[in-house]
Amino acid sequence: MASEALQQVIAGMREGNGPDFSGDLEEARQDFDTLLATLPVEAELEFEAMKLGGVPALHSKTGPAHSGALIYLHGGAFVSGSAHGYRGLAANIGKAAGLVTYALDYRLAPEHPFPAAIDDVLAAYRALLDSGMKPDRIAIAGDSAGGGLALAALAKIRDEGLALPAAGYLLSPWADMTCSSVTMASKAAEDPALDQAGLQVAADHYLSGTPADDPLASPVYSDLSGLPPLLVQVGSAEILLGDSLAIAARAGSEGTHVQLEVWPEMVHVWQAFAFMLDEGQSAIHAAGQFLRGRLAGEH
C-alpha cells in the first residue's frame, strides 16, 4: 500500500502539470521548468555557475575539495530540463557521497541532436582529468535521459582509451530509444509520469536520423564490458523498468559489476522527492554508500 506521501506525489503527477513531449516542444519545456521549480532546494546549498571543459555547469561544494567529484546529468528526455532544475537532487547525491558536484547543462535536442550530449560529457570529464583529478576519484550519475547518457558516456570513455571513473549511478535510466521494452505497455497504467508516445517523439528529436538501436544512442545495445561498477535504481511503477532490467542483464553478462535495485511502488526518479518521501531519502543514502565504497577502492 502506497504511503500517504507517495500517494500525494502520484496525484500531483496525474494532475497533468508535467510536460507532454508528444505536443508542442516549447510548451513542454516551459511546463517541465515550472514543475522543477516546485522542488525545494536546501537553503544552505550554494551553487556556482561555471564552465567545465567549455560545458556550462553548476558547481556545488558538497564535499571536501580533495574528495573527488560527481558529474551529474539531468533528465528531461534529451529535449528539456537543466542543471538549475536538478541542482537540489544533484547536490543531495553529492552530499551523500561526500563529493563536490558538477551538474552539467549538456546540449539539448533537437537543436543539438545525438551525439552532442555525449560529446559534452566527455569534454567535462577530460577537463576534470586535465585539472589533475584522479579518475578513481570521479563518479558519473544521471536520471532518466541523463541516466542513459551517463551509461553511454562511460562506454565512450572506455572506447576513447581514457582512464575510467570509479563508478556510475543511474536513476530510472532511459537507455533504449526504440521504446520497445515490454514494460512500456505492461507498466503504462501504473506510471503517472511518462508515456510511450511522448518518449518516442523525444527520441526522434534526439536521434535526428540516427538508428534508434545505435549502441551509443541506446546503450542497452552497447558493449557494456569493462565499465566501472554500476548502481541502477528504478521503481516498479515505471514504463522504463525494462530499460534498467536490460542494462543489468547485459552489463552483468559481460562481466561488469552491476547492482540493480527495483524499489516497490516507486515512480520515475522518486529520489527527487526525498524532501517528502522516506524512500527517496533511503535511495540517496544507499547511493551515497555505494559511491563512497567505490571511490574507496572497494569492489
List the catalytic residues: 144, 238, 268
Q: Are 145 and 174 in contact (CB under 8 A)?
A: yes
Q: 168 to each of 10, 51, 121, 148, how far by Cα in Å? A: 28, 22, 13, 11
- The alpha carbon of residue 33 and the mean position of all alpha carbons in its chain are separated, in whole angstroms, by 17
- Between CA 188 and CA 76 the distance in angstroms is 19
Q: Are 62 and 91 in contact (CB under 8 A)?
A: yes
Q: Are 71 and 27 in contact (CB under 8 A)?
A: no
- The alpha carbon of residue 185 and the mean position of all alpha carbons in its chain are separated, in whole angstroms, by 22
